[in-house]
Structures are given as structure tokens and as C-alpha cells.
Amino acid sequence: MTENHHDDGGVDTGLSLSFQAEYLSDQRAFHDYAYVVLGDDRAAEQAVHTALVLVRDSWDDLLVESNMQQQVWAILRGVVQEYRDRAERNAIAQGLDDYRQGLSQLNGDQGVFEAVITLPPQQFDAVILRYILCYTPQRIEWYMGISKATVARYCREGKARIEQAVPSLLKKTGDTAAGDQSERGTQE
């Protein structure tokens, strides 16, 4: 196990001088970039720390790169993007939870709210994101981590479950339930 020795500037003096120089020369610029993207000082500090650990761990490989500085920035940008994606996914998940709770407190005379909140979690997320919040299938795919085909299936199945649970809604909107050919033929 190696001991960490810090000078007065808080730099680990057990690290190579070239890494220390990189760290000291770019630390402020790294933080500024991370702060602009993430909008939060603590998150920016964490992202920069994570990126610098990755840089440190691959320092010997980076030293032989033709443009080491570009590679170091690429590592930082990748880490910052991961932090941003994680924060955005967490915000979407919290919003969906809040939406489900809000719907459970509403009373509709047609049973739409009840039908929506009884959807399985992934169908609920896909239906709300697609039809209420108007997310693109690609954006839902990114958020849920599933294929576009699965997004389409969840949306289709969720919508069908709602339509099946709320037939009075179908009559008012003029839509027909899947497989109901009698009304479908008259609408075309």
C-alpha cells in the first residue's frame, strides 16, 4: 500500500510530476466546464474528481498519445456527460413518481386516471412519456434503456389496456378498441 503525501497545495506528491502539473494547470478549467454543464458546484467537483482518477489510472497510456491534452479532455467530457445523464434520468424518474401519485389523488368520472395508474411500471412510464409529455421514442429509449421496438410495444400495450378499461372514453373520442371492426369500418 502506498502512502499519500500532500504538499501545502493539497496535491498528492506520490504522483508523477507530469500528472501533478496536468492536474494543477487544468483543474480550474475542468471544474468550470463541469459546472457549466451540470449547473451544480458539488456535482462538478465530483465529476472532475472522477475524471482525474480515470486520467491518473491511465496516465502511462496517455503520455504516449500524440495529443494527450485532447485525450484528457475527452475523458472529462465523457464523465461529465455520464453525471448529466444520471441527473436527468433521476429527475425524470422523480417526475414520473410524482405524476403517478398526483393521478392517484384525482377522481375522474370515466376511470381514466385509475386505468393509467394501474399500468405496470414500464408501461406507465412509456405511456406518460410518449402521450402526455410528448417524448420521442428515441428519448424514451434513452431514458428506459430499452429498444425502440420495446418502447413501441409498451406504448401500444399500455394504450390498449387504458382503452379496454375505459370503454366510455372510446365512445366519446370516436376511437375504437383494438379488434373492434364494426366502428372502425364506418370511420374510414
- Asked whether residue 168 is domain-assigned, the answer is yes
Q: Which of 76, 84, 80 is nearest to 68 (CA)?
A: 76
Domain total of the chain: 2
Domain coverage including residue 118: 108-174
3-state SS class at 121: helix
- For residue range 34-85, list pLDDT tens digits in order: 999 999 999 999 999 999 989 888 888 888 888 888 999 999 999 999 999 9
- Give the pLDDT confidence score for residue 18 in this predicted structure: 74
Q: Which of 9, 39, 41, 14 is nearest to 25 (CA)?
A: 9
- Asked whether residue 103 is domain-assigned, the answer is no
> Position of cell 458546484?
41
* Residue 15 grid cell: 504522483
Do residues 53 and 66 touch, judged by C-beta distance below 8 A? no
10 Å Cβ neighbour count for 32?
A: 12
Query: Which residue type occupies 150?
Result: T
- Asked whether residue 186 is domain-assigned, the answer is no
The model carries a pTM of: 0.68
Which residue has better confidence, 20 or 15? 20
- Asked whether residue 97 is domain-assigned, the answer is no
- For residue range 133-163, list pLDDT tens digits in order: 999 999 999 999 999 999 999 999 998 888 8
